[in-house]
Amino acid sequence: MNKKYSFNPNTDKVIWIDLDNSPHVPFFAPIIHKLQAEGYNVRVSARNYSQTVELAQLYGLHFTDVGKHHGKNKILKMVGLLYRSIQLLPFVLKKKPIIAISHGSRSQMIVARLFNIPIVMFLDYEFVQTLPFAKPKMLFLPNLISKEKLANLNIEIKTYPRN
């Protein structure tokens, strides 16, 4: 059956995945392809930093290039975070996502919180620092990391196998 012309209730629901850094591309690419194969409308934003855009192209992802890296200076990082958040606003207004998924994209969290979009975050370490006003609804971690170490965050935590 041709999915393009079949009824699928998932096509109206936009899932927003933000690729903030190059390792996020190989992590999310199979997830994006699987969701799309199941009929979900996945919209991807990618920050132009550390070959993230080039990798997204290599993996055949359709994405919107939003923002760049602003260096190591802490003040410039903060300005860059706010500036990218502003740059993401038109993306969100146009795509109208119902959920925001990332591997710790602070810009995405700020914008998602602004629009009351539930945030799902994947992490691979227990030393997470969430934004106090934009906590994720759910956190996914490899099963090697103890959930108890993150219990103080008061977030629903799910684990997945490391392989």
The pLDDT of residue 2: 39
pLDDT of residue 158: 85
Q: Give the pLDDT of residue 9.
A: 60
What does the pLDDT read at residue 149? 67
Give the tens place of pLDDT for each residue, 1-40. Answer: 334 444 556 667 899 999 999 999 999 999 999 999 988 9
Pairing of strands 64-68, 119-122: unpaired
Domain boundaries, given as residue ranges, for the chain: 9-160
Look up the pTM and report it: 0.83
CATH architecture of structural domain 9-160: 3-Layer(aba) Sandwich (3.40)
pLDDT the model gives residue 3:
44
The residues of the chain scoring below 50 in pLDDT are 1-6
- DSSP labels, 31-89: HHHHHHHTT-EEEEEEEESTTHHHHHHHTT---EEEEE---S-HHHHHHHHHHHHHHHH
Q: What angle do CA 40, 118, 69 make, to 5 degrees?
A: 90
- pLDDT at 133 (0 to 100): 64
Return d(Cα 28, Cα 163) in angstroms, integer. Answer: 14
pLDDT score, position 8:
58
Phi first, then psi: what are they for 56, rounded to 5°?
-60, -40
Side chain identity, residue 153: L
| One-letter identity of residue 124 | D
Separation in Å, CA 77 to CA 11, 74, 153? 36, 5, 24
